[in-house]
Amino acid sequence: MQEKGQEGPGRARKARNGPGNDNRAVLPVFLVTFPFFALIAAGYAAARARLLPLEAIPGLNTFVLYFALPCMLLRFGAGTPIAQLLDGSVALIWGASALAVVAGVVMFTRNARIGWNDAAFGALVAAFPNTGFMGVPLLVAILGAQAAGPMIITIAFDLVVTSSLCIALSRLDGAGEAGSGGRHGASQAARKALRGILVNPMPWSILLGVLLSAARWQLPGPIDRTIAMLADAASPVALFTIGAVLARSALLAREHVASAAVAEAMGTGSAAMPKAPLADVLPVVAVKLLLHPVLVWALGAGAIALGLPLSHAALVVIVLVAALPSASNVSMLAERFGADNGRIARIILWTTVAAFFSFPLAVGLLR
């Protein structure tokens, strides 16, 4: 009742001040989010202009994935109360919404042109936000360190469950398994997914952070400072790398089309894969930036009404996580498993550009 009493005057003031009040609420958020998107744009421009060699981008990605980002997640995990890291309500709402997005995208996009492989990775790019590279530093800057706990839960679920499920679905038509059926392809994909989880340092850094939080153990000073230095580098390098990866995907796709056209003209190759039409791209973009956060909000609000112990603050965090653009590493996974990487890269690019405008609006609506 006290919260309602507090909200009432705010709503009355908003009604008196008119729509201009919403603009004033969004502007400070935009000023906070602008540097994050500016770093992405800088990475994109550097790679497109070849100031950053394309061969250097995997090195940046390796630094972020294996060194800086795990250290950042470890520090946030160790500094977050264990109850927030083991919040089953957050895991339930996030998991239900992610699985619903995967099921819906696969169901409505699979057709004569888009088989299980492309539909599954389209579902993954719709359900997997860029929480690690972008969401953690961005939402901590907006909401404070208390946002880390729910985000860590979403990262763990997406890495272990959502990714593995979509990889398994991608093998149902036997894609990439010449002379073998879908069952063999699915089992091989499951082994690849498990191996990918085991060698990915992010789940292990999250687990170590949870253990440190539960034991309330402090790392020795020199080790803690070393981890802090790597963690501080995670945000700018990760954002710059996102832009560089997007630019590389666009450049490589253009070069592939050009080389395939030359080979076809000379009679030494087959026709290039046609560029994915916008009808195969924009609906997935809309699902990622609009339907996914709305679904998380609806499920969370309904669960709270039914008595689920989910705090409003945690719900706001996971709704904003869902409003983030798609994870850039989905493009590399799609390429590895033989899906239409050009389509996936375009979806990631479109969600990243559109989120420059949509994400501050989402924050303004929820704050």
pLDDT tens per residue across span 252-271: 777 665 555 455 555 555 44
pLDDT at 53 over 70: yes
Distance CA 345, CA 323 (A): 18
Position 208 confidence tier, pLDDT thresholds 50, 70, 90: very high
Task: Give me the pLDDT at residue 179, please.
Answer: 44
> Is 37 or 342 the better-scoring residue by pLDDT?
37
pLDDT value for 89: 96
pLDDT at 250: 82
> What is the pTM (predicted TM-score) of this model?
0.84
Annotated domain spans of the chain: 31-366
* Residue range 172-180: mean pLDDT, rounded: 56
| Assigned CATH for 31-366 | 1.20.1530.20
pLDDT of residue 336: 84
Per-residue pLDDT at 130 exceeds 70? yes
How confident is the model over 236-243, as a mean pLDDT?
Answer: 94
- 3-state SS string for the chain: CHHHHHHHHHHHHHHHHCCHHHHHHHHHHHHHHHHHHHHHHHHHHHHHCCCCCHHHHHHHHHHHHHHHHHHHHHHHHHCCCHHHHCCHHHHHHHHHHHHHHHHHHHHHHCCCCCCHHHHHHHHHHHHCECHHHHHHHHHHHHHCHHHHHHHHHHHHHHHHHHHHHHHHHHCCCCCCCCCCCHHHHHHHHHHHHHHHHHHCHHHHHHHHHHHHHHHCCCCCHHHHHHHHHHHHHHHHHHHHHHHHHHHHHHHHHHHHHHHHHHHHHCCCCCCCCCCCCHHHCHHHHHHHHHHHHHHHHHHHHHHHHCCCCCCHHHHHHHHHHHCCCECCHHHHHHHHCCCCHHHHHHHHHHHHHHHHHHHHHHHHHHC
Percent of the chain with pLDDT over 70: 83
**Mean per-residue pLDDT for 219-234?**
93
pLDDT tens per residue across span 54-107:
999 999 999 999 999 999 999 999 988 999 999 999 999 999 999 999 999 999
**pLDDT mean over 217-224:** 90
pLDDT over 60 at 19, yes or no: no
pLDDT at 170 over 50: yes
Give 287-322 pLDDT, tens digit per residue: 999 999 999 999 999 999 999 999 999 999 999 999
325 vs 253, which has greater pLDDT?
Answer: 325
Mean pLDDT estimate for the chain: 85
Structure tokens at 93: 């709402």
Confidence of residue 251 (pLDDT cuts 50, 70, 90): confident
Residue 13's pLDDT is: 40
Residues 311 and 52: their CA atoms lie apart, in Å, by 44
